[in-house]
């Protein structure tokens, strides 16, 4: 997922919920790099419709950022 940002509209600690993830917690990369330990939180939310994924990235920027989520043991990525 690509998030746009600028000096007038910065990104500040983005949080995402992916409905029906239906997998274990994801591996998260930002701009193609692994996120430092302690700056990302990943969890799952179980409900009657399946399993949703919740992701919080502790990062601030005025430049666009791309967050990629990858399911464990999967070659498929969610851009």
Find the radius of gyration of the CA atoms of the chain.
Answer: 13
Query: How far apart are the C-alpha atoms of 48 and 65, rounded to whole Å?
Result: 33
Q: Which two tokens stand for residue 16?
A: 């995402």
pLDDT for position 72: 76
pLDDT 10s digits, 20-79: 998 778 899 999 999 888 999 999 999 998 999 999 999 999 999 999 999 877 655 555
Per-domain boundaries in the chain: 2-70
Query: How far apart are the C-alpha atoms of 49 and 54, rounded to whole Å?
Result: 15
Per the CB < 8 A criterion, the answer to whether 29 and 35 are in contact is: yes
pLDDT for position 13: 97
pLDDT for position 22: 81
């Amino acid at each position: 997922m690509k998030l746009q940002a600028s000096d007038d509209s910065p990104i500040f600690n983005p949080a995402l919920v992916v409905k029906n993830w239906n997998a274990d917690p994801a591996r998260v990369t930002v701009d193609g790099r692994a996120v430092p330990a302690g700056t990302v939180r990943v969890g799952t939310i179980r409900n009657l419709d399946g399993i949703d994924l919740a992701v919080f990235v502790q990062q601030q920027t005025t430049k666009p950022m791309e967050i990629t989520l990858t399911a464990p043991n999967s070659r498929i990525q969610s851009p």
